[in-house]
Amino acid sequence: MFRHRFFSPISQIETISVSTSFDIYIYTIETGGIFRPNVFLSDQYKNGNIGRNLKDKGKSHMNETTELLKKHVSVRQFLDKKINEDQVKELILAAQSASSASFLQAYTIIGIEDDKLKGKIAELAGNQPFISEGSHFFVFCADLQRLHQLSQERNIDIQPMLEGVDAILAGAIDASLAAQNMTVAAESMGLGVCYIGGIRDAIVEISDLLELPEYVFPVFGLVVGYPKAKNELKPRIPMAGIYHIDKYNKDTDEISNEYEETTRRYYTNRIGNSSNKTWGDGTVNSFHRLSRMGMKDYLNKQGLAKK
């Protein structure tokens, strides 16, 4: 038996008792009358200091930043409340402070402020209305256009490099690092976020809407706003399945099987949207449904990935 704090709308907290052998626990603390998940524990996570009592500060390296990171969930229900301009500037500055390979800064962030444009993108990106409901929506683009322009001004031919696969990796990685910085900054302000990979479902149409030039492509979107409701924390792959020492560990069948059962119990006991699936079921079916086979042609049209 464990007691689980379930928060649907944040203003309406319910305490529900569940009788199960489920080995995922959520400890909660009360902050300003709102119960928030504090530590997410499972037997698999108890290595590496995770799972120690928070009060035992002297024996743990946990701090406000690591606790914030471990409490991340996607938010798809937002309050009708706008983020102010100072907050937006802080979010952009945080994004710009991310690491960048060779200081290329090979990305551009496009803030979507026009409601009609935001609605059109929401429709194209998988009919996800919460994109329009969040306070702000940002599209993170890999951007090699600036580098191309700089090379032309200096009469240096970088075309072979721009047409290589590594260039799009550099841009996508830079955009991802910037977005994750923005995510952490947003959550530190009490905001919620959701990444939108569905941008790539209609990458040609969305690129046209945003008037993206050659050598630029959208990687994903990010909805940011004040959360009305939050999803439950999901159990992650056990640390031993993700963190390998010195070489790749191929002997992870036992870990994978254990995780499949853990996620089956999670989905079965999840309140409001239960099912009998596992993580493997969900991810394989999701990946199988993706229909982005024209991505290479699109990138070629943008002057990228030709080699």
For position 231, what pLDDT does the model report? Answer: 84
Greater model confidence, 94 or 8:
94
Is residue 70's pLDDT more than 60?
yes
- As a whole number, mean pLDDT of residues 192-206 equals 97
Q: What is the pTM of this model?
A: 0.81
For position 44, what pLDDT does the model report? Answer: 36
- As a whole number, mean pLDDT of residues 10-30 equals 34
Measured distance CA(191)–CA(182) in Å, rounded: 11
For the chain, give the DSSP string.
-EEEEEESBTTSEEEEEE-S----EEEEEEETTEEEEEEEE-GGGGSTTTTS-TT-GGG----HHHHHHHT-----EE-S-PPPHHHHHHHHHHHHTS--GGG---EEEEEE--HHHHHHHHHHTTS-THHHHSSEEEEEEEE-HHHHHHHHHTT---HHHHTSHHHHHHHHHHHHHHHHHHHHHHHHTT-EEEEEGGGGGGHHHHHHHTT--TTEEEEEEEEEE-EEE-PPPPPPPPHHHH--SSS-----HHHHHHHHHHHHHHHHH-SSS--S--HHHHHHHHHHH---TTHHHHHHHTT----
Q: Using H for helix, E for strand and C for coil, what is the string for 48-84?
A: CCCCCCCCCHHHCCCCHHHHHHHCCCCCCEECCCCCC
Is residue 174's pLDDT more than 80?
yes
Per-residue pLDDT of 216-271, as tens digits, reads 999 999 999 999 988 889 999 999 999 999 999 999 999 999 999 999 999 898 87
Measured distance CA(306)–CA(267) in Å, rounded: 42
- As a whole number, mean pLDDT of residues 126-136 equals 96
For position 15, what pLDDT does the model report? Answer: 34
Half-sphere exposure (CA, 13 Å, Cβ side) for 37?
Answer: 22
Is residue 288's pLDDT more than 60?
yes
Is residue 52's pLDDT more than 80?
no
Return all residues near 225 (Cβ < 8 A) that are at least 6 apart: 75, 78, 79, 81, 83, 133, 134, 135, 136, 191, 192
Distances (CA, A) of 84 to 56, 76, 88, 283: 38, 20, 6, 37
Is residue 150's pLDDT more than 70?
yes
Is residue 45's pLDDT more than 70?
no
- As a whole number, mean pLDDT of residues 72-95 equals 97
Measured distance CA(142)–CA(106) in Å, rounded: 6
| Band (32; pLDDT cuts 50, 70, 90) | very low
% the chain with pLDDT above 90: 70
Is residue 100's pLDDT more than 60?
yes
- As a whole number, mean pLDDT of residues 35-55 equals 39
Residue 294: φ, ψ to 5°: -90, 15
| Band (282; pLDDT cuts 50, 70, 90) | confident
